[in-house]
Amino acid sequence: MIDFHTHSLLSDGQLLPTELVQRARVKGYRAMAITDHADESNIEFVIRQITKVCRQLNKDKWFRVVPGVELTHIPPHLVPSMVKKARALGARVVVGHGETLSEPVARGTNMAYIKSRVDILSHPGLVSAEECRLAAENSVFFEITSRSGHSLTNGHVAAAAKKHDVNLVLNTDTHAPGDLITDETALNIAIGAGLNTTDFRKIEKNAEELLKRI
């Protein structure tokens, strides 16, 4: 399992980054990103601390931890500058908090993140054909998620992504120990979203390619 969307107690997660990583390793993960929520109020602190702990944890060459961030509830017109700032501060993977049905995300957020070329658009909700076409063009990955609430639109996201050749990744959006999953559970989530085993292998390959890219 490679998971590009997890949270520690640096935002609203329950675990220290080190415990989050240790639990993921025991679960069978081989790489992950820590992507705590951030906006203008805390982005410097969050990325600095995550980068520091990742540097320490990456002394173990058998498991890679990527410093990242999930830009969350950013007004769409501020998204481009925040994405640039996150990368300048050292975030190796930038996740945009998409227009999930389970939270009041501002309209236009998906498109703002896609235009800004985030790495992953998380739980993007009822994505449009226009959003899909631009995501494919800009090499933005859409997320299939195991997280309750956000997963309500997994089927729509999967179908739209396949139709428009948008690459998918499967993440957990982990906040608590019980949110971490096995490879078997990840496969079942993909199947539940209307995908097949071949699609899931492509998702795994996408994760490998993204890990190399960042």
- The answer to pTM > 0.85 is yes
Token pair belonging to 187: 């496969």
Classify 25 as helix, strand or coil: helix
What residue has token string 């960042």? Answer: 214
Helix (H, G, I), strand (E, B) or coil at 170: strand
Structure confidence at residue 61 (pLDDT) = 82
- In tens, the pLDDT along 21-39 reads 999 999 999 999 999 999 9
Q: How far apart are CA 33 and CA 158, in angstroms?
A: 22
Tokens of 139: 């090499």
The per-residue pLDDT for range 166-206, each reduced to its tens digit, is 999 999 999 999 999 999 999 999 999 999 999 999 999 99
What would the two tokens of residue 198 be?
């071949």
- Write the pLDDT tens digit of every residue in 36-64: 999 999 999 999 999 999 999 999 888 99
Buried residues in 165-192 as b, exposed as e (16+ CB within 10 A): ebbbbbbbbbbeeebbbeeeebbebbee
Domains of the chain, start order: 2-213 (3.20.20.140)
Place of tokens 């299939």: 144
